[in-house]
């Protein structure tokens, strides 16, 4: 499941409701520097944040280890389609 929001704020929770039967969800956004508190909540809810690689530098080093870029998401989808 891939949700898309140009900005997240608290709207990222909408993705959880829109795909409540799907365990692992992905959210593509163009929002820079989301708070650590919010990304920790996303992780706890199994919502993977997907960002263009250039935005990763706006996040803390700890957050960056968890972020996924668009190429990584595309690779994941291709791998899952092979199965």
Q: pLDDT tens, 32-79?
A: 999 999 999 999 999 999 999 999 999 999 999 999 999 999 999 999
Which run of H or E residues covers position 28? Answer: strand 25-29
pTM over 0.75: yes
Q: How far is CA 71 from CA 10, 14, 18, 25, in A?
A: 25, 24, 24, 16
Provide the pLDDT confidence category of residue 23 given band limits of 50, 70 and 90. very high
* Domain boundaries, position 70: 2-82
pLDDT at 11 over 80: yes
Tell me what pLDDT residue 9 has: 81
* Rounded to 5°, angle at Cα 49 from 6 and 81: 105
Tell me what pLDDT residue 7 has: 87
Domain count, the chain: 1
């Amino acid at each position: 499941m891939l949700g898309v929001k140009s900005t997240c704020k608290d709207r990222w929770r909408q993705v959880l409701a829109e795909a409540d039967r799907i365990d692992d969800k992905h959210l593509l956004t163009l929002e820079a520097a989301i708070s650590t508190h919010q990304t920790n909540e996303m992780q706890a809810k199994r919502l993977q944040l997907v960002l263009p690689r250039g935005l990763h530098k706006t996040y803390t080093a700890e957050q960056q280890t968890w972020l996924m870029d668009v190429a990584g998401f595309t690779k994941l989808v291709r791998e899952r389609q092979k199965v």
